[in-house]
Chains A and B, each alone.
Chain A
Amino acid sequence: MLNKRVIVCLDVRNGKVTKGIKFEGNVDIGDPVEMGRAYAESGVDELVFYDITASAEGRPIDLEMVRRVAAEVFIPFSVGGGIRDENDMRAVLLAGAEKVSVNSLAVRKPQIISAGAEIYGRQCVVLGMDVRRTQDPAFPSGLQVVVKGGREPTSFDAVDWARRAEDLGAGEICVNSIDADGTKEGYDLLATRLIADAVEIPVIASGGAGTPAHLAAVLKQTRAEAALVASMVHYGTYSIPQIKQELQRHGVAVRMDW
């Protein structure tokens, strides 16, 4: 049986893993290769490196970092942030990433999804999607796609966008709830469920994880195949083995033989 995945997200700034802390800006917490390797050894199923310098400053992604990770970490990892076009996608994949993640670029230019899928197959294109609940009847699912960390609204209904991205060739969708993000009160189960029910491709739940029970809830109560965590493991509040043992206790199938 296919195991549910626990994915760790590492935000990278100027070659260092960083964590945004309220009122204090970003604090560097480690080397991406070292942290990636340590997480892989502790049983994480997949890693996401998000290059926040590249996306914020319009710079190309740090390919040297991608190469260093690929030489040291032998589990799947994806790279996102700052992808400008299909050449960037190709470069990231050639540097050794398993998948490349696009978010606001895909909203501006949906064809980038098909272009990416044509390079090395649809499995290497992850659509990242920031969503927010809305009462506005222009969004029939009640979920609106937003970009730039939630600061900028779009006219996209999240469920429509998910279906369209699947048709265009996305291999996976990461649903990040702007409402839940940073709350540590749990994933947005409704948003995750609506989108996961609408597509055949796997969905990753993101935003709001504070305890292992939150992962269990989203993996049991929705069709999400994976749950993304960041601060709850970066600060040592929980370890990956602890999270996986809790998931197992809740009856969620997870890989325990790393």
Chain B
Amino acid sequence: MLCIVDYGAGNLCSVELAFRRLGIPCQVSADPADLARASRIVFPGVGAAGSAMRELLSRNLADAIRQAAAEKPFLGICLGTQIILDSSEEDGGVNCLGIVPGACPRFRFPAEVRATVPHMGWNAVTRRRDHAIFTDIPQDANFYFVHSYFPQPKLASDVLADTEHGGLSFCSAISRGQLVATQFHPEKSGRFGLQLLANFAQWDGRS
């Protein structure tokens, strides 16, 4: 079964409701044994990287997540995507899970640009290559974002899609083997978001 990891970092309700709407069975769990048994993993999260990492460590979930990400289809969402990287600039600098090499800096814009932070709203997601989770979703489809920090993978080969805000192009989706991760919220992104979740539920993990 698909397992949504519950580690006290925000609201999992909408992710669960989206899978329910799609008729895809799922469980919400913070138990490492459930993660080990699950056929695929969704790793969501909103809030701050520091407290999210503290919660993961206090629940002994860090290794279970690393393990799951190495062996089964794995979908990170928003903060879940940021903390699979090595580190985040948030909360004065946080060591994260290090599943994908890279960092997570804050949006900083020159005074003349004055783009808003958080980056909040609907924005186009431009794929660099095809991927099963984008099946039946047009190139440059709009998804819903809300974040002040953005993923910056070290390897260009890990970047699946880009999005532009205030003249800055940032990585809005990561893919590496059986792991995919989106900075946007598919569960809040209308029909394309639901399509992406349905695609993930059927994906065999081969990119």
Binds B, one of A17-25, A89-97, A152-160, A230-238: A89-97
Q: Is B47 in contact with chain A by the CB < 8 A criterion?
A: yes
Chain A facing B: main interface SS: loop
Q: Is A115 in contact with chain B by the CB < 8 A criterion?
A: no
- Given A74-B18, A121-B48, A200-B116, the answer on whether A225 and B121 have CB atoms closer than 8 Å is yes
Q: Is the CB of A70 within 8 A of B118?
A: no
Q: Is B57 in contact with chain A by the CB < 8 A criterion?
A: no
Closest residue on chain A to residue B17 by CB atoms = A71
- The size bracket of the interface on A is 35 or more
Q: Is the CB of A257 within 8 A of B142?
A: yes
Q: Is the CB of A202 within 8 A of B121?
A: yes
Q: Is B117 in contact with chain A by the CB < 8 A criterion?
A: yes
Q: Is the CB of A45 within 8 A of B46?
A: no
- Given A74-B21, A74-B189, A95-B13, the answer on whether A3 and B122 have CB atoms closer than 8 Å is yes
Chain B facing A: main interface SS: mixed
Q: Is the CB of B144 within 8 A of A76?
A: yes
| Chain B neighbourhood of A70, CB < 8 A | 13-14, 17
Closest residue on chain A to residue B124 by CB atoms = A1
Partner of B120, one of A95, A96, A202, A255: A202
Q: Is the CB of A123 within 8 A of B114?
A: no
Write out, one digit per residue, whether chain B residues 160-177 have a CB within 8 A of any chain A CB (1) or not (0).
Answer: 000011100000000000
Binds A, one of B31-39, B69-77, B127-135, B190-198: B190-198
- Given A3-B142, A257-B142, the answer on whether A96 and B47 have CB atoms closer than 8 Å is no
Q: Is the CB of A94 within 8 A of B187?
A: no
CA distance A123 to B148 in the complex (A): 9
CA distance A255 to B145 in the complex (A): 13
| Chain A neighbourhood of B11, CB < 8 A | 93-94, 96, 98, 120, 124
Which parts of A109-123 form the interface with B (CB within 8 Å)? Answer: 119-123
| Chain B neighbourhood of A123, CB < 8 A | 46, 118, 120, 146-148
Which parts of A148-180 form the interface with B (CB within 8 Å)? Answer: 171-172
Number of interface residues of B (CB under 8 A): 43
From residue B188, how far is it (CB to closest CB) to chain A in Å? 5
CA distance A121 to B194 in the complex (A): 24
CA distance A124 to B165 in the complex (A): 20
| Chain A neighbourhood of B188, CB < 8 A | 74-76, 98
CA distance A76 to B20 in the complex (A): 17
| Chain B neighbourhood of A200, CB < 8 A | 114, 116-117
- Given A40-B190, A74-B189, A201-B117, the answer on whether A120 and B144 have CB atoms closer than 8 Å is no
| Chain A neighbourhood of B185, CB < 8 A | 76
Q: Is the CB of A74 within 8 A of B142?
A: no
Q: Is B138 in contact with chain A by the CB < 8 A criterion?
A: yes
Q: Is the CB of B121 within 8 A of A45?
A: yes
From residue A40, how far is it (CB to closest CB) to chain B in Å? 7
Partner of A202, one of B116, B122, B164, B191: B116
CA distance A108 to B119 in the complex (A): 29
From residue A162, how far is it (CB to closest CB) to chain B in Å? 13
Q: Is the CB of A257 within 8 A of B20?
A: no
| Chain A neighbourhood of B165, CB < 8 A | 1-2
Q: Is B123 in contact with chain A by the CB < 8 A criterion?
A: yes
Residues of B within 8 A of A (CB): 10-11, 13-14, 17-18, 20-21, 46-48, 79, 114-124, 138, 141-142, 144-148, 164-166, 185, 187-194
Residues of A within 8 A of B (CB): 1-5, 40, 45, 70-72, 74-76, 93-96, 98, 119-124, 171-172, 200-202, 223, 225-226, 255, 257-258
The 7 closest A-B CB pairs, nearest first, are A121-B47, A255-B122, A123-B146, A255-B142, A96-B13, A120-B10, A202-B116
9 pairs from A and B in contact (CB 8 Å cutoff): A2-B122, A5-B121, A40-B190, A45-B122, A75-B188, A98-B146, A122-B118, A201-B118, A255-B142
